[in-house]
Structures are given as C-alpha cells and as structure tokens.
Amino acid sequence: MNKGRTISRSEISYLAESAVGYSINELADKELITIDEGKINNKGGVGQIIEMLLFGIDNNSDSEPDFMPAHVELKVTPYKRIKGDKLSAKERLVLNIINYETESKNVFDSSHFYFKNKTIQLMWYLWEPNKDNKDYKITHQMIMELDDNPDLEQIKKDWQFIVDKINAGKAHELSEADTMYLGACTKGADSKSLRTQPNSPIKAMQRAFCFKTSYMTQLVRKYIGKYSDVEKLLSDTKMSFDEYIKSVTNKYIGKSDKELMNMFGIKGKSKDDYSRIVNHMFNVKRGLDKTDEFTKANIITKTIRVEEDGNIRENISFPAFSFKELVNQTWEDSELKEQLETTKYMFFVFRKKGDDYIFDGYRLWNMSQIVIDSVIRNFWLETVNTIKNGVELIVKGNKVENNLPGTSHNGIMHVRPHANKAAYKLNNGFVKGDINVDGDQLPNGEWMTKQAFWFNSSFIKEIIGDKSWKNYKKR
C-alpha cells in the first residue's frame, strides 16, 4: 500500500482502518519501523508517530491539509474512561493556528479554517493512566466531513464570532468560552507567543481554532460509547440555539414560581424546585445541562433567586480542591484557568415580589479573558502562595480563622469551606470534626476544612442585573 502525502482518500481510509485494534508498539512491529523515543514522549507524540508510522508523513505545520490533493487533514486524539465507566475526550481537538491578519479578511467558505479542516480523518485511541504511550490502542476511526456535520451552522456562527472580535481589534480578549463548539484556544504561554492583530496596536496571544473538549466528549459518546439516551433540544426545529432558548423562556417570563409549579405539576417543596421548573420549561427529564447541546458547549445552568432588596440567595462554587495538588499546578495548567476559559453559565433568574418569585428570563455569560488573565490570575497566585507559605489558622473559641483570600480580596472570587461540617487537626493539638470526611491535609501536615473557589454573590448580582463590570479589570 502506498504512503505519503499524495495518497488517495481510499488509501487513507484503508490505512486508518488497518490500525484499529492495535497499539503503537504493535504497529511498530507490524510495520518494522524504528520508533524515535524522543518524539513519542513529547506532547502530541502518539499522533506524530501514527503520522510517520502508518501514513508515512513527517510532522509539519503546513497551511495545507496533511494529504493533498485528497484534501484530507489527519487528527489523532485520545479519550478516557471516567467515573461510572463513562467515556470522555481527554483534551480539545486543536485544529489550525489563527492568522489574525488574514483570517479576518475571509468569509467562512473561503477561510483557512474551512480549507484546512473541511475533511478530517479522525483516529481515536484509548488513554489509560500508568500506561506507556506506545501501548495505547487505536480503537476507532472515521471521516469527519464538515459540510455534513449537523452542527455546521453553529460552527459557522462560532467562527464568525471569533473573526468579528478580531476585526474589532479585540483578539487579545478572545476566550475559548466565548463560543459554543468551535473555540479559539491558546497556543503558547509566554511573550514569544504574541501576535499582531488588525485594528489594534495590542499584541494578542497566539491562538488556534479547536473543537472544545466538551464537544469532543459528545462525539466520543456518540461514535464509541452510549449516546442513545441523550436528550436533544434542537432535533425537531430549524431554530438556532439562541433562538430556541429565547422562544422557550419568553413563554414563562412574568409567571410566579407557584404558577409554574402548578402548571408543571411539581409537588412539594425542595431545594431543587427551581431547577425542576427550568427542566419542565424545556421538557427534559435528565436536566438541561445533560442535553446534547448544553453538554457540547459546556454550559452550566444555575437558578438564581433575587430578593426584593436586590441580594441573591444562591452561592456558586467550584469543586473542592486538594491543597497538595493545587500547589503543584502552574497558573497556565491550573484547573481554575481551564474551567473559566472553557465554561459558559446560563443563569435562570427568579425575582422576589411579595410572597412569590417571578421568572425574569435568563442570562448566558462567560468570564472575560482580560479578567481571567489579570484579576483571577493574581487571586489564584495569592491563594497558592498562601498555602505554600503555610495557612495561618487562628483558633478563636470553637472557630478557626484563616488568611486565605476572602470576599473583599477582588470583588469577584474568594476561597471558603466546601464541606458539610468544619474539620481541623492542628499542630497545636486543636481537633474538630472528622478530617477524613470533611477535611484536607495542608502541605505542612495540618488539616483544615475542605476549601473551594467561589464566585462572590455581589459579582453574580452584577451579572444578572446587566450592569457593567469593566471596573473589575482594574483590580
């Protein structure tokens, strides 16, 4: 069988299918090619070896698709097993580098993105912990035609949003969370990765188009795992995502929680009544966040109740972090940065009026990249440095105070407990609660109540109140 960049589509498909069921080592034995260990161990090594070993093409950054004139781009990407034996993409699928100066001059059909990624030969391998790269098995392959993709219209909208932001001289403000399925992810982490952009003297971080991790996860579940029970919102409509959400919520704006519970037959009172109301609005059984569209776009839904004085009841937290894991992260690779750069939030707002809470619509929001790179970065670094230097734990009666960043630190986020009960075991002999259930060990050996990052309620109040929060950029 022929190899190299000039082989035909049928030859590409044949080679891809011939690899299914084999590991890198097995392919190496089969093809009798010596593997360069240095290339295997670096990031992207598995994909590079597949390119060399199976297809006979060298690693490259050409502007053309990998195979010409077949016009096919090759992508090798990992997936993994997670809790409950579910499948998840291990990472986003990085596509082509965005040239801010030229891509912004195109329309979608003549864009470099479309030219490069119109047809992708996709190959999946199963990533497993504590396993050598060369032992990962290729499990599935498929041809992905952009023109036949059911999400094409949304992908076009995402591309247009990115290009419009570049044309507005705001490439430095791009965030992966700006869009739904097609993102603009960073490529590089220092000043050497800065690029010029049109209509602005400010250099912007180099970015690439990518299919988000959340989008790739749904593809993995659709083509490899279980997908039949996933609810879809847009299966019977030609409306866009935004149009559909508006059409549904507009029907219920102005109705009270009691009216809506009556309308949907929701009995009793529980903490999740408002989430249940929202699920009924969209006629979904498993939860709005679990639908195909929300999962692919990584949109987290939250119901917010606003009191008559303007304050809100709900607090919004991230998962509890491990002190020891947190101090071993860098900001660029931190979980908090990744979450904020890739997550959208949809807030469903209920405002108090007398004895009722009146539904007031929704707000779709993601954090500005400028705020992430400045305010949140400084907050994260201070949290990590405080833990590294030793959290000050001061016992006052039965309570313990600490010096982790609080609500007054930056106006956006703070650190606070994320456990059912307080739990401490200090070097001075003070013990409280069950540290094995509600505590986490600090690097210095002491134990304190599990902690998490939280959004300030005042910040959420500003988001749902449609108020400007550009002043946070200066903090």
Residue 229: inside a domain, yes or no? no
Residue 18: inside a domain, yes or no? yes
Residue 355: inside a domain, yes or no? yes
Confidence of residue 25 (pLDDT cuts 50, 70, 90): confident
- Cβ count within 10 A of residue 461: 15
189 and 108 co-located in one domain: yes
* Measured distance CA(97)–CA(144) in Å, rounded: 19
308 and 429 co-located in one domain: no
Q: What is the CATH number of the domain that holds 93?
A: 3.40.600.10
DSSP secondary structure of 390-438: ----EEETTEEE--S--TTTTSSEEEEE-SSS--EE-TTS-EES-HHHH
178 and 160 co-located in one domain: yes
Task: Report the pLDDT value the prediction gives residue 31, as an integer from 0 to 100.
Answer: 61
Higher local confidence (pLDDT), 33 or 136: 136
Residue 109, pLDDT above cutoff 70 = yes
* Measured distance CA(109)–CA(107) in Å, rounded: 6
96 and 204 co-located in one domain: yes
Query: Which of 307-311, 365-369, 388-392 has the weakest average pLDDT?
Result: 307-311
Which amino acid would we find at residue 143? Answer: I
Residue 470: inside a domain, yes or no? no
Length of the chain: 475
Looking at 365, 385, 402, the residue that finishes a domain is: 365
pLDDT for 134-157, tens place per residue?
899 999 999 999 999 999 999 999
357 and 381 co-located in one domain: no
Which residues, 6 or more positions from 25, have their beta carbon under 8 angstroms from its beta carbon? 134, 135
Task: Report the pLDDT value the prediction gives residue 35, as an integer from 0 to 100.
Answer: 58
Residue 205, pLDDT above cutoff 50 = yes
pLDDT for 153-191, tens place per residue?
999 999 999 999 999 999 999 999 999 999 999 987 665
Which candidate, 423, 439, 419, places its Cα nearest to that of 431? 423
Which tokens go with 121?
């030969």
146 and 26 co-located in one domain: yes
Residue 395, pLDDT above cutoff 70 = yes
Residue 231: inside a domain, yes or no? no
288 and 387 co-located in one domain: no
pLDDT for 287-298, tens place per residue?
999 999 999 999
Answer yes or no: are the C-beta atoms of 425 and 446 closer than 8 Å.
Answer: yes
Which residues, 6 or more positions from 464, have their beta carbon under 8 angstroms from its beta carbon? 304, 306, 312, 347, 349, 363
Residue 45, pLDDT above cutoff 80 = no
Residue 88: inside a domain, yes or no? yes
Task: Report the pLDDT value the prediction gives residue 313, as an integer from 0 to 100.
Answer: 74
Residue 475, pLDDT above cutoff 90 = no
84 and 135 co-located in one domain: yes
pLDDT for 84-98, tens place per residue?
788 999 999 999 999
Q: Which residue has the tokens 């891509």?
A: 103
pLDDT for 315-369, tens place per residue?
799 999 999 999 999 999 999 999 999 999 999 999 999 999 999 999 999 999 9
57 and 200 co-located in one domain: yes
Query: Which of 25-29, 158-162, 318-322, 373-377 has the weakest average pLDDT?
Result: 25-29
Which residues, 6 or more positions from 442, have their beta carbon under 8 angstroms from its beta carbon? 323, 387, 390, 391, 448
Task: Report the pLDDT value the prediction gives residue 52, as an integer from 0 to 100.
Answer: 81
- Cβ count within 10 A of residue 156: 17
Confidence of residue 29 (pLDDT cuts 50, 70, 90): confident
pLDDT for 451-470, tens place per residue?
999 999 999 999 987 443 33
309 and 418 co-located in one domain: no
pLDDT for 207-263, tens place per residue?
999 999 999 999 999 999 877 778 999 988 989 999 999 999 999 999 999 999 999
DSSP secondary structure of 268-331: S--TTHHHHHHHHHTT-SS-GGGSHHHHHHTEEEEEEEE-TTS-B---EEPPPBPHHHHTT--S
State the total domains in the chain.
Answer: 3
Task: Report the pLDDT value the prediction gives residue 406, as an integer from 0 to 100.
Answer: 94
Task: Report the pLDDT value the prediction gives residue 230, as an integer from 0 to 100.
Answer: 86
217 and 260 co-located in one domain: no
321 and 178 co-located in one domain: no
Residue 285: domain span: 241-365
Residue 25: inside a domain, yes or no? yes
Residue 463: inside a domain, yes or no? no
pLDDT for 404-434, tens place per residue?
999 999 999 999 999 999 999 999 999 999 9
Cα dist. 240→154, 184, 223, 336, 345 in Å?
A: 8, 21, 24, 30, 18
